[in-house]
Structure 1
Amino acid sequence: MVQHQGYASEVRACLGVLRCASCNRLTRPKTHHSSREKQIQAGCTSRTCTLATPLVQDACDARTFHYEVERDGETICIWDHTGDHSTHRKPPGGRLSKFQEDQVDAQVMRKQDASAHELRTGDPGPGSIPLPDISSTLAASGAARYQLSQSQARLGITTGLTKGGLAFMSAFADLNKRFSTPFIVDSSLSGPVYMTFQTPFMDEILREAVEAWIIDLADGPGASRHGFVIDGDHSFFRQGPLLATCAFSTTSWEWTPVLYSWINGLDTSHHRPHFRHIFQSIIKHAGDRFTRKLLLCVMDFSGAQRGAHAEEYADAIISITPGFAGLSKEAQAAERRNLVIEAEEAEVGCEVHFWRSADHVKKTHSLVPPELANTFEKSLRELLSPKTTSERFDSVILTLKATFPAIKNWVGWWERRSIASMIFPAKSAVDPALAAKVPSTSNPLNINTPFCIMPSGRTTNCFWV
């Protein structure tokens, strides 16, 4: 306690700011003396700063005196400020001012369902202010989450998470009842967690596609547009990818989504329900005209997708095979293994995925020297040519590895039997006549999916078709 204005007063001093002499990074001083000394001796906390010297403390002469006076029988608390903070810059962090809290409240009110991360990054819409622009303290994720919760409490906003798991499950169960057109056709909250979406319109497009392939147009706009294109979008939901399947509509003459699935994992078991529903629908619509070619899918080279396709391909064929249940367990297992292998004859890879990968390699000059870029691309085109024989394919692979030793592992991945069969005609297990009837890319899906989900935004929790 000190004497101030004739009263015993508690004095509080501004500690200024700690500054790195090299990069000028500012640090808020700790209030305890011994902790502050250790903080100064520890030096700059910036990862990019190379100066290993103690921090410089920019002192401040600002003080506040706190005391009480008695007037007319009442105790009045006095807060007296002296000096100013002109000798140093404002330290980062600290409590938000009332004005800053109001700014945070405005951002929370503007987008009440936004996460702390979304508020930190802002958005292109009018009125958006990223939280770090309000206070540098809010650049930290923990501080942003705390201030978001405080703002929600001030504004009386109740988030969906506070309603509990049972409320979520109840709402989930009532989803189909809330809409006149059903769209959740399968789901699971135990084991593989997933939701599969399809409207009657989408199922009708799928039926059209099956019918068109059974008729098997030899020419015209419908030629080379059979099969089903499957791919995943990892950016639509905050958690878990969105699987989508497209089929060519002979009514609108465009690739159209026929099934969506949200899956909460990237393994084979999470992908299987999506393929299962597609294959069951194909068998249903084809009836006694079903042939195995109808299960052919164009997809990327994901091991989980290929595994799910093969497992569900085998299950689909088994489900319509007369007398299978009468076989011994050993015979059933052997037949199923053969069907899983046979599934390779119904898997076509995406050339666009291949060329994107190749383009990335070609642009890395440490892997492919610029003067050999044309040689590299010419070799890849020869690998993809339907005129290339298996022997010539092997020769080109050896030449690529010898000419570009830095990409030996990259070439080795693409020449793996299961991968090469999907993309290179010389090694393909798919009947060439059949391959000519389907697209060689999943690009139709990449083009169509954004338009189908655009109305609900990129980070929505649901979507409409």
Structure 2
Amino acid sequence: MAEIMNTRGQHISSTFFPRRKHAFRPSSGPIRRLITGVPTFEGPGESVAEISDVLLNVDRVSKEQAKLKHGIGESSDNFLESFAKFEEEHPDFIILSRLGKYTVISTQTAFMCSQLVNGPLNGMVSDAAHGFWKDRKALLMVSSTYSPVLHCWVPGVVSYTNGASTNHFAAHFLAVLQSITREAEGRNISIMDFSEAERSGFINGFIQFWTMRVNNTRTAEELAEAAKAILCGCEEHFRAAVTRVSRINGAVGPNKVEAFKTRALGLLSVASGDEFDKQANLIIQDFPKLKPWMEWWMRPSHATMLFSSQRLMEEHVVESMPNTTNAEEAMHWRFYSATGRDHSFMHGMNSLYKIAMDFERQFDAVNKGIPIRYRQPEAWKVIAAEIGRTKPTCAEKPNEKKRKKNDGRPPDTIKELLNKSTN
């Protein structure tokens, strides 16, 4: 498509975003409004047709809008030029860059690194977000640590990955470990959403990191065992998995759902390895169709990350860390609310830098005594301590307090007829 020039010889890409009071935005509404007059707070503004007569064609306006909305030139030479310019404008922000089949680009500011190195021993929470990039195969991998100054979790390393394989996560965690070299052995503890690729990626990244160091004396096998000892799985995701399979009536009878959930969740706190194996095998015996699911959780590579009787991690370290990745999932929401979703690559990279700067500004403001909120920070902790849950409006036992809909028919559903044990 040829470039459109207005009467002043300017390209359409510059005149679609004029430096004036009523700037056009790609999401300004139906196409016809753009031709009539771009919507503003004071009513219709300038018409895009003032740029060029060709923009009287509603289909042409639609195509030009799509080009601006979804990004122009994020390919070939224009992309390389934009990426080089980004690195020049933000030196040291990109701490790892691997292009190819397994593309991983990791970012971090000096402030983010300081939080990983100087923060308290609360470990790191790592998880991947699927909605940040426009490319649905791409992920935003974030490893965060808790800041007692801001009373929230802050990003330590943020990576773009073009997939979710072990190699992708290995590169991300290698960037994490390299950025906190001096603290890696004593304080590098990572909690991850339960993903085989992420677990393997962390172990591979850990091995790569120490193998590259001249003072390393451990073999790859010894490093792998050391990595396993500083991994902890997400308890909340196990609970969600239990709930999910309990709804499969062919595997768990409706009258056995609560018993199954109690027994499965009880595995989290059994006292010994022998008792764990005994209880897990009894679950398989009583619910044979769940055998593949239960055996997956019983694998040593998975069980050691989650169940207290199987853990390799020291107990005092476990107690200092959160047992879920909810903090990281809340971090994803914070990213989305700050800059939106479905970013093209360069737009997303600029957004990540702005987010990093936002955290740093808040940190500096608190240290200067400038309030960044009027309400009490982390009020949910007080609520949880008082009533045992973070949402006062939620019923403690929802099923007991849920109003039963009565449409005049007798009980005729599986849930109504079989959910309670019969005499």
TM-score range, shorter chain: 0.5 to 0.7
Range moving further from structure 2, 260-269 or 182-191: 182-191
Kindly indicate whether residue 178 of structure 2 is the aligned counterpart of residue 280 of structure 1.
yes
Residue matched to 2:248: 364
Kindly indicate whether residue 194 of structure 2 is the aligned counterpart of residue 311 of structure 1.
no
State the alpha-carbon separation in 2 of the partners of residues 156 and 419 from structure 1: 45
Kindly indicate whether residue 80 of structure 2 is the aligned counterpart of residue 175 of structure 1.
no
Identical aligned pairs, as a percentage? 24
Kindly indicate whether residue 326 of structure 2 is the aligned counterpart of residue 443 of structure 1.
yes
Q: Is the alpha carbon distance of 1:399 and 1:112 closer, same or farther for their aligned partners in structure 2, counting shifts above 3 Å?
A: same
Question: Which one scores higher on RCO, CA 8 angstroms, separation ≥ 6?
Answer: 2
Of 371, 379, 390, 2:273 maps to 390
Residue matched to 2:163: 265
Answer whether contact 1:382 1:388 (CA < 8 A) is retained. Answer: no
Answer whether contact 2:95 2:107 (CA < 8 A) is retained. Answer: yes
Q: Mapping of 1:73-112 within 5 angstroms?
A: 112=26
**Greater C-alpha radius of gyration:** 1
Question: Structure 1 residue 323: deviation in Å?
Answer: 6.7
Question: Structure 1 residue 229: deviation in Å?
Answer: 0.7
Q: What do you get for the CA RMSD once the two structures are aligned? A: 3.1
State the alpha-carbon separation in 2 of the partners of residues 426 and 400 from structure 1: 17
Kindly indicate whether residue 253 of structure 2 is the aligned counterpart of residue 355 of structure 1.
no
Answer whether contact 1:282 1:294 (CA < 8 A) is retained. Answer: no
State the alpha-carbon separation in 2 of the partners of residues 426 and 315 from structure 1: 29
State the alpha-carbon separation in 1 of the partners of residues 157 and 66 from structure 2: 39
Letter in 2 for 1:231: D
Question: Structure 1 residue 151: deviation in Å?
Answer: 5.1
The DSSP-based 3-state class of the residue aligned with 2:160 is: strand
Residue matched to 2:291: 408
Unaligned runs of 5+ residues in structure 1 are 1-108, 120-126, 128-146, 214-225, 325-331
Residue matched to 1:187: 97
Q: Is the alpha carbon distance of 1:170 and 1:249 closer, same or farther for their aligned partners in structure 2, counting shifts above 3 Å?
A: same
Q: Is the alpha carbon distance of 1:340 and 1:151 closer, same or farther for their aligned partners in structure 2, counting shifts above 3 Å?
A: same
Q: Deviations over 1:287-335 (max 9, x none)?
A: xxx6x242221002222211221122223334446374xxxxxxx7xx1
Kindly indicate whether residue 198 of structure 2 is the aligned counterpart of residue 198 of structure 1.
no
Residue matched to 2:225: 341
Residue matched to 1:254: 152
Q: Deviations over 1:83-141 (max 9, x none)?
A: xxxxxxxxxxxxxxxxxxxxxxxxxx997489xxxx9xxxxxxx9xxxxxxxxxxxxxx
Letter in 1 for 2:204: E
Letter in 2 for 1:185: I
Question: Structure 1 residue 409: deviation in Å?
Answer: 1.1
Structure with bigger strand share is: 1
Answer whether contact 2:73 2:79 (CA < 8 A) is retained. Answer: no
Q: Deviations over 1:349-377 (max 9, x none)?
A: 00111111111112232222222122112
State the alpha-carbon separation in 2 of the partners of residues 359 and 390 from structure 1: 24
TM-score (norm 2): 0.63
Residue matched to 2:123: 227
Residue matched to 1:20: none
State the alpha-carbon separation in 2 of the partners of residues 156 and 339 from structure 1: 50
Q: Is the alpha carbon distance of 1:254 and 1:153 closer, same or farther for their aligned partners in structure 2, counting shifts above 3 Å?
A: closer
Of 288, 293, 310, 1:427 maps to 310
Aligned residue pair count: 298
Residue matched to 1:63: none
Letter in 1 for 2:107: F
Letter in 1 for 2:77: L
Q: Deviations over 1:181-202 (max 9, x none)?
A: 8633322323521221222322
Unaligned runs of 5+ residues in structure 2 are 1-22, 32-38, 40-56, 356-423
State the alpha-carbon separation in 2 of the partners of residues 156 and 265 from structure 1: 26
Letter in 1 for 2:134: R
Range moving further from structure 2, 261-270 or 193-202: 193-202
Q: Deviations over 1:272-292 (max 9, x none)?
A: 2211121112224x3xxx6x2
Q: Deviations over 1:226-267 (max 9, x none)?
A: 111111111221221110111011222322211110101221
Question: Structure 1 residue 413: deviation in Å?
Answer: 1.0
